């Protein structure tokens, strides 16, 4: 139970910083805190690293898609991506931290 409580606190605190800086939504903070309760502190740190890497890859994919769409398609709006959902990266990062190693 202690590891679960520490995971909630760590997941909430680390992602709260990004929320306060405007780079993440409140739902993402709560989702990571919830995964912290399930994973515990040790696995949460691994999940956070997976999440950061996957989030970067997802962001590159969205930006690449938008660049390609602007080059090939008719002009629409500003072409600027306002937000990229982070919950898929969080869920996949938590899942990968639970995958057997070795």
The pLDDT of residue 19 is: 94
Q: CB atoms < 10 A from the CB of 91, how many?
A: 15
- Per-residue pLDDT, 7: 93
Q: How many domains does the chain have?
A: 1
CA atoms of 93 and 43, how far apart (whole Å): 10
- Residues 20-37: tens digit of each pLDDT: 999 889 999 999 999 999
pLDDT of residue 41 exceeding 80 = yes
Q: Tell me: the pLDDT tens digits for 48-94?
A: 999 999 999 999 999 898 889 888 877 666 656 678 889 999 999 99
CA distance linking residue 41 with residue 23, whole number of Å: 23
Range of the domain at 69: 2-98
Length of the chain measured in residues: 102
What pLDDT score was predicted for residue 101? 79
């Amino acid at each position: 139970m202690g590891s679960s409580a520490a995971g909630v606190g760590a997941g909430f605190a680390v992602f709260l910083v990004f929320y306060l800086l405007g780079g993440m939504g409140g739902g993402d903070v709560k989702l990571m805190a919830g995964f912290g309760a399930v994973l515990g502190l040790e696995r949460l740190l691994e999940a956070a690293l997976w999440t950061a890497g996957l989030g970067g890859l997802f962001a590159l994919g969205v930006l690449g898609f938008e660049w390609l769409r602007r080059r090939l398609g008719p002009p629409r709006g500003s072409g600027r991506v306002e937000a990229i959902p982070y919950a898929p990266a969080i869920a996949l990062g938590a899942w990968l931290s639970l995958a057997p190693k070795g």
